[in-house]
Structure 1
């Protein structure tokens, strides 16, 4: 199988190629734009011609009756180069206070028309990039001859503007004339282009960045998900092949680590299960011999020790076995199961109270879940005189709390409480019996259902509160 060129590249060359590709693509779009949207026209005006034209327009406007001015201005031959607008009030733009050629032009217009500087307004925006000007460019040259390259280099004499407006008063009233270069009708199109180009660059670079980032983040998400599954189910989830050499090396190492951990844990659990199983036969013989002890107190003590050892072996076999995890999930009534466990504990002499709905449908492993909550309720009964079981529904999950009024556990020991075969140094120790596996088995089962289990101190007593959260979509 031929490996594509891209899959052989490491991450650094990929990022470099994507950046270069984005820049080349934007350059290509930039060069192709003039073929789709033509650049602005460049109109060259001789300064003396412009001054004479403005004087002619003002003289004709003043001598013509007010009612005939619009028609007169509309029919002027100069309209092929200039747009002329008649206003009955001063224009809405401000005079550009600029040094250089336009300042000299404003002074010449004022002198030529015989007006005061306040009666002549000149607005001239100099473009940063003439090629991207939305309006036609106006280049006003001093008397010819001149060198064409000096038009863009020498701005002191040659005047370049992308938005030239000349306004002057034409009468004692508030009548004004505004003279502007003739529009080619493409201003909106060019303005749209000027806005679209940066947006296109951002979108293109964003898409390429997301594509590259996805190629990096997706394998990391797969690794995180596989690690989460390994921590919950103790089952390896091999990650697939990645399209980058660095990520593929990480994936291969992670897969090998999962298999080694799985083999290590399975070997230890199998050893523990074998030892626990093999101890059943000698314990049975000890039970038979204990029946013939003449002293009743000794017989009772030996039988109690044997029963405790059998309970330890049963819990150990349950912890080491995968039978509960292999049980198929099925829709079951979580509330009914909790009520049944509370009734069973109450029949055994423990004061257990249930609070919550009578029915709560959830898909889970019935035998495993029953074992988990039985352990939690038994722990509460063992270390406290009262146990409260509460079931609460939320839109996304079921929340079950099992609390007791026992001696509790110090907060700094909460994490150790879930470790197998650990008995905490308080009244929750060997004197009360147990194997130290109840919470461990419950946590293991809850985690395989994508749930969460946590410990906290009871707010009103010194007891322990175990909070279990089971998602509705497990």
Structure 2
């Protein structure tokens, strides 16, 4: 289940890892900061509670004695406060203060000496002398948030007792905590994604360059800019591509040179064959020499197609296919009815090398006619594919015997011909499909062969628009 949501790209995985790590570090940092503020928050809570106590005392002491009960009911203290007017101090508070030396110290008295009362001005804001309490009793049990303070009012008739509970400081409950966490995570996440994408971008460039090299051995080299590691990888890739190009060029030149050198002995053999008196034997010699000469010519053409670089240009693919089919119908008038578009083609324009592409598609059409008795072509409208490319597909189908499954890929190798499923009397050297594939790969496209049901062969050509 989790595997479905796992990021697939290196940039996404790296960004997710760094963002999660950043979130953890920020959470720990904010937690430490919040814990450091607990003492400060506790003092603030105590100060706020003491302010409430002072305000309550002042409200009561400024009221006439006969109206104090009504004033007490009219007050709206915090929910944790309980206020009472009594004739005397709470005995529990007196007993606790008498038995707690620390409480006496907190009130400013010797630990074991009476009286158990604090200074009259303790816990109160500055007041005129006539409004100050005559005595103050304060209770704060150790380890407990409960507090109590009792004031003997200036007229010495009643005690004002205020009990309250100090709320526990909880900095994590603050609204600024999640807001700060979210803002820092989002800001850090944006910077992480931006930085990771810039760092990982050369990897995508390397992958694109490798794919381009696989399609066209003469693809332009990579830029060698960027960080040291990326620059070294680009240099190594360019060196490898240069060696591959040199190897392919040397092999092609050697093959072309051999084919060129064979022309002279073939011509001499043809001349000598004319002196053979046996007509049947002379005919066989000349047929073999003609086949050998056609193979040499195909080899030279293969070498020229590999080394020649025709410039790219925009062309009307629909018109090009129509021209190829018209020429094929003129060349094979007896099969003209089986040559043409299977459905009305859409208008498609692509960037390609016109002469090379025409040769590749013509090879496929001629193979379908020679080996399958006809060629039905389907041109599909361009469709958006991965990485924003728009691809168009050409289907070239025939009604021949098809190919064994193991030969569908092998047929693109140079000098390979099917021996059982195709008609050998039609000639050919086994270079047509190899040339077609090299041309289509050089244009950034692809070509595949597949059998049709119940019989026949389908060549699928994909080209970038």
Q: What's the TM-score once normalised by structure 1's chain length?
A: 0.61
Aligned length: 352
**For the Cα contact (< 8 Å) 1:402–1:467, is it kept in 2?**
yes
- Confirm or deny that 1:361 pairs with 2:355: no
Alignment of 1:377-388 (within 5 A): 377-388=365-376
Cα contact 2:404–2:421 (8 A) shared by 1: no
Q: Deviations over 1:71-111 (max 9, x none)?
A: x99xx8x78xx68xxxxxxxxxxxxxxxxxx9xx59x689x
SS of equivalent residue, structure 2 residue 48: strand
- Give 1 or 2 for the bigger CA radius of gyration: 2
SS at match of 1:341: helix
Provide, for residues 118-161 of structure 1, a one-character-per-residue CA deviation record: whole Å limited to 9, x for no partner.
Answer: xxxxxxxxxxxxxxxxxxxxxxxxx74769xx8xx855776225
Contact 2:140–2:146 (CA under 8 A) maintained in structure 1: no
Matched residue, 1:280: 263
Question: Quick one: which of 191, 196, 201 aligns to 1:213?
Answer: 196
Compute the RMSD of aligned alpha carbons: 4.6
Structure 1 residue 382: deviation in Å? 2.4
CA contact (8 A) 2:372 2:398 kept: yes
Distance 1:410-1:427 versus aligned 2 partners, 3 A rule:
closer
| Aligned-residue offset at 1:296 | 4.7
CA separation in 2, counterparts of 1:227 and 1:291? 54
Q: What SS does the aligned partner of 2:167 have?
A: strand
1:453 shift after superposition: 1.5
The C-alpha deviation readout for 1:343-397, integer Å capped at 9, x for no partner, is: 3222333442323338543332111011101111121122212321222223433
1:466 aligns with 2:459: yes
Segments of structure 2 that go 5 or more residues without pairing to the other structure are: 1-13, 34-40, 61-65, 87-136, 148-164, 384-389
Q: Secondary structure at the match of 1:398?
A: strand
Change beyond 3 A, Cα 1:300–1:339: farther
Query: In the alignment, is the contact (CA less than 8 A) between 1:319 and 1:441 conserved in 2?
Result: yes
CA distance in 1, matches of 2:206, 2:315: 33
What is the CA–CA distance in structure 2 between the aligned matches of 1:429 and 1:299, rounded to whole Å?
25
Question: In the TM superposition, what whole-angstrom CA distance separates every residue of 1:151-208 from its partner, at most 9, and x where no partner exists?
Answer: xx85577622579xxxxxxxxxxxxxxxxxxxxxxx9xx84x4444222222233234
Aligned partner of 1:319 in structure 2 is 302
> Aligned partners of 1:392, 1:360: CA distance in 2, in Å?
9
Structure 1 residues 263 and 51, CA, compared in 2 at 3 Å: closer, same or farther?
same
Distance 1:415 1:109 in 2: 95
Q: Distance in 1 between matches of 2:396 and 2:179?
A: 61
Which residue matches 1:456? 450
For the residue of structure 2 that corresponds to 1:328, the secondary structure is: coil
Could you tell me how far apart the structure 2 residues matched to 1:429 and 1:246 are? Answer: 55
What is the TM-score normalised by the length of structure 2?
0.62
Instruction: Find out whether 1:352 has 2:346 as its counterpart.
Output: no
Per-residue CA distance 1:220-246 (angstroms, 9 max, x = gap): 112111111211111254333354444
Question: For residue 408 of structure 1, what is the aligned residue in structure 2?
Answer: 402
Q: Who is 1:262 aligned against?
A: 245
Residue number in structure 1 paired with 2:49: 45
Alignment of structure 1 residues 35-434 onto 2, 5 Å: 42=45, 43-45=47-49, 49=53, 144=138, 155=145, 159-160=166-167, 191=175, 193-235=176-218, 237-241=220-224, 243-291=226-274, 293-322=276-305, 326-349=309-332, 350=335, 351-355=338-342, 356-357=344-345, 360-395=348-383, 396-428=390-422, 433-434=427-428
Quickly say closer, same or farther: Cα 1:290–1:402, change in 2 above 3 A. Answer: farther
Q: 2:168 & 2:262 partners in 1: Cα distance? A: 100
Report the Cα offset of residue 402 of structure 1: 0.7
Paired residue secondary structure (1:465): strand
Structure 1, gaps ≥5 residues long: 1-11, 32-38, 65-71, 84-101, 113-142, 164-186
